[in-house]
Amino acid sequence: MIKKQLTSEIEIYDDISELDKDTQELMKKSLEARKKAYAPYSNFLVGAALLLDNGEVVKGSNQENASYPSGLCAERTAIYWAGANYPDSKILKIAISASSVKKKNDQPIPPCGACRQAIAEYEQKQNHAIEIYFMGLEGKVVKLNSLADILPLAFESKYLEL
């Protein structure tokens, strides 16, 4: 038996002003996208903005449904839209912002497990890491250099071929 340690590194910024200008702009687009969420059941609004290598920015927000599991998270709304409309473009960065409408959240909220799995698929498909930035409505921003940093031992397409 051997033991292996899985480690990852994150960067924590005090607030959005510490980010480079382009990333600040992307995060602002995520905050804009958040306002368009349809979340009457949870009242938890999430925005996502993706920067593609062709310069386009794709925005998404969570879209809920009276049949709860039929709703979709902001990150997957955005990433699937990008995949459907720009299948040959690489996704370079994702900025995510999330807060309940009831209480102004200032904590960075990371993507859920299902979104991690979906984003991981795109990293593998494009063979290029995606930078992930996430925050609440204000306050600290967390940066990951790759989705793989928060989904070690991911299930990947290569396992289907074993």
Binding residues for Zn(2+): 73, 112, 115
- Residue 64 binding ligand THU, by CB under 6 A: yes
Residue numbers 44-63 binding ligand THU by CB under 6 A: 44, 46, 62
- Residue 99 binding ligand THU, by CB under 6 A: no
- Residue 74 binding ligand THU, by CB under 6 A: yes
Whether 75 is catalytic is yes
CA distance to 89, 120, 125, 150, 157, per residue, from 12 (Å): 28, 21, 28, 15, 32
The interface region with ligand THU, picked from 24-32, 67-75, 135-143, 149-157 by CB under 6 A, is 67-75
Report DSSP state, residue 38.
Answer: B
Structure tokens, 56: 């386009």
Whole-number minimum distance, CB 88 to ligand THU, in Å? 26
- Residue 39 binding ligand THU, by CB under 6 A: yes
Structure tokens, 27: 């995060």
Cβ-count burial of 146 within 10 angstroms (0-12 exposed, 13-18 middle, 19+ buried)? middle
C-alpha span between 46 and 57 (Å, rounded): 16
Residues in contact with ligand THU by the rule CB under 6 A: 39, 42, 44, 46, 62, 64, 71, 73-75, 111-112, 115
